[in-house]
Amino acid sequence: MVGSWPRSPEVLRAQRRRHHGDISAEEFDHVADAAVIEALKHQESAGIDIVTDGEQRRDNFYSFVADKLDGVRLMSLAEMLDIVEDKAGFERILQTLDVPAYSIRNPTCVGIVSRREPLALNEYLFLRQHTDRPIKVPLPGPYLLTRAMWVKEATRAVYESKEALAEDVVGILRDEIRELREAGADFIQFDEPVLTELVFTQGQTRTFMCAALAARRDPAEELEFAVELINRVVAGSEGIRTGLHVCRGNWSQQEHTLLKGSYGPLVPYLARLNVTQLVLEFATPRAGELAALLDSDQIRKHKELGLGVVYPRTEGIEGVEAVVARVEEALKYLPPERIFLNPDCGFGTFSSRPMNTLEIASSKLETMTRAAVILRDRYAV
């Protein structure tokens, strides 16, 4: 799993009611607990080895942090349009992309940022009570969080620069890793989808989240900044598997609005990240060829690959043999023990926009596990 699983109508209703203050956090958790157990059941019955909690408690993969951090406030797009200086640019983003504007609220930094409660430790502890399988905990990466939270017009009264805000973000994520590791979590994955936006839009503001109304610096500088932040977050995290997930956006089923291009331009940066695993999409043809990534010596010698083999956004179920063939292509570059099968992205990146029905999502997971059985039989050492 990359992370999210479709939310049920009950969870969506509970999320709305909680947002409006109609139910307490405890009442929400009661609904979400049941949903997490249900998401776990789907994964276990599909035969998934490393499970997640399906992000059932989160409205999306990054803005949930506003519930956990002091100094962060969720702002609607309308509120942001009020305060940003480049209103025309901001409106253009909303129009040209199929942004789920009705559902996105940006976690904006409006005060000194600190943890009121852990971001994901409690999610992990709950899931741990219900399964013996290894658990992956997805977290927003430090670059994404810094970009999302830094809205100059609201933030600069508190932090003098994006870099100053990033210091506190790095500290928060390091605390989270330490606590998750002590609690026995197996795998922490940082989501940094916005990295592709840097290379495929050449610094033009075409971001699929209001995150970072603008990365106005040169894309290469921004990528260096991202590498530095991620490496600082994972420094000293031996004993736990760490991963980085990068995709080209998963907010829409309208393919033409999503970014396209191989991982090639990101390779020099990905190769320098001190994470155990790169969790990447490859089922979509928009992600280009495996060779663009695996021609890199650094990546081939040192990284595990979370290989995207099924595509969360399509209704057709991939063939088991096609998945096997895809993995065999990766086996030309990597030993079997460093290849992990996963979907290209989550099945419900934004809670109100599931990518598929439960039935189709489950069938896609089953396709992966059936392929894994064949592959282990052929290649397990």
Measured CA to CA, the distance from residue 245 to residue 258 in angstroms comes to 16
Query: Residues 203-232: x/- map of binding to Zn ion (CB under 5 A)?
Result: ------------------------------
Question: Binders of Zn ion: how many residues, by CB under 5 A?
Answer: 3
Q: CB of residue 59 vs Zn ion: minimum separation in angstroms?
A: 16
Of 195, 205, 106, 102, nearest to 153 (Cα)?
106
What is the smallest separation between the CB atom of 342 and Zn ion, expressed in angstroms?
10
Distance between CA atoms of residues 6 and 9, nearest Å: 10
Q: Is 361 in the site for Zn ion (CB under 5 A)?
A: no
Segment lying near Zn ion (by CB under 5 A), choices 26-34, 124-132, 203-211, 242-250:
242-250
Q: What is the DSSP string of 51-83?
A: B--TTTT-SBTTGGGGGTEEEEEEEEHHHHHHH
**Among the candidate windows 210-218, 288-296, 325-333, 344-352, which touches Zn ion by CB under 5 A?**
344-352
Taking the complex as a whole, how short is the minimal distance between the CB of residue 147 and Zn ion, in angstroms? 16
Alpha helices by DSSP H, 7-151: 9-19, 25-46, 77-83, 87-96, 121-128, 142-149
Shortest Cβ 325–Zn ion spacing (Å):
23
- Smallest gap from Cβ 109 to Zn ion, in A, equals 24
Judged by phi (left if over 0) then psi (alpha if -120 to 50, else beta), residue 13 lies in alpha
Instruction: Give the span between the Cα atoms of 381 and 379, in whole angstroms.
Output: 6
d(CA 10, CA 16): 10
Residue found by looking up tokens 């010596």 in the block: 297
- Residue 144 touches Zn ion, criterion: CB under 5 A: no
Task: Provide the minimum distance between the beta carbon of 287 and Zn ion in the complex, in angstroms, as a whole number.
Answer: 11
Measured on CA atoms in the order 342, 5, 207, 274, is the torsion positive or negative?
negative
Report helix, strand or coil for 113. Answer: strand
Query: CB 250 → Zn ion: shortest distance, Å?
Result: 5
Cβ nearer to Zn ion, comparing 59 with 168:
59
Return the range that interacts with Zn ion (CB under 5 A); candidates 7-15, 70-78, 204-212, 250-258: 250-258
Q: How far is the CB of 63 from Zn ion (least distance, A)?
A: 15
Near Zn ion by CB under 5 A, which window of 65-73, 106-114, 247-255, 313-321?
Answer: 247-255
Q: Which is nearer to Zn ion, 199 or 345 (CB)?
A: 345
CA atoms within 13 A of residue 99's CA, in its CB half-sphere: 21
Distance of CA 149 to the CA centre of its chain: 16
CB nearer Zn ion, residue 71 or residue 312: 312
Distance of closest approach, residue 247 Cβ to Zn ion, in angstroms:
3
- Give the nearer residue to Zn ion in terms of CB position, either 32 or 345: 345
Stretch that binds Zn ion, among 64-72, 126-134, 249-257, 310-318 (CB under 5 A): 249-257
Report the 10 Å Cβ neighbour count for 255.
12
Q: Which of 104, 215, 247, 375 binds Zn ion (CB under 5 A)?
A: 247
Q: Considering the complex, state which of residue 225 and residue 347 has its C-beta at the smaller distance from Zn ion.
A: 347
Position 13, amino acid: R
For position 250 contacting Zn ion by CB under 5 A, the verdict is: yes
Tell me the pairing of strands 187-191 and 105-115. Answer: unpaired
DSSP output for 161-215: SHHHHHHHHHHHHHHHHHHHHHTT--EEEEE-THHHHHHHTTT-S--SSSS-S--
Among 46, 104, 293, 345, binds Zn ion (CB under 5 A): 345
Q: Which residues bind Zn ion (CB under 5 A)?
A: 247, 250, 345
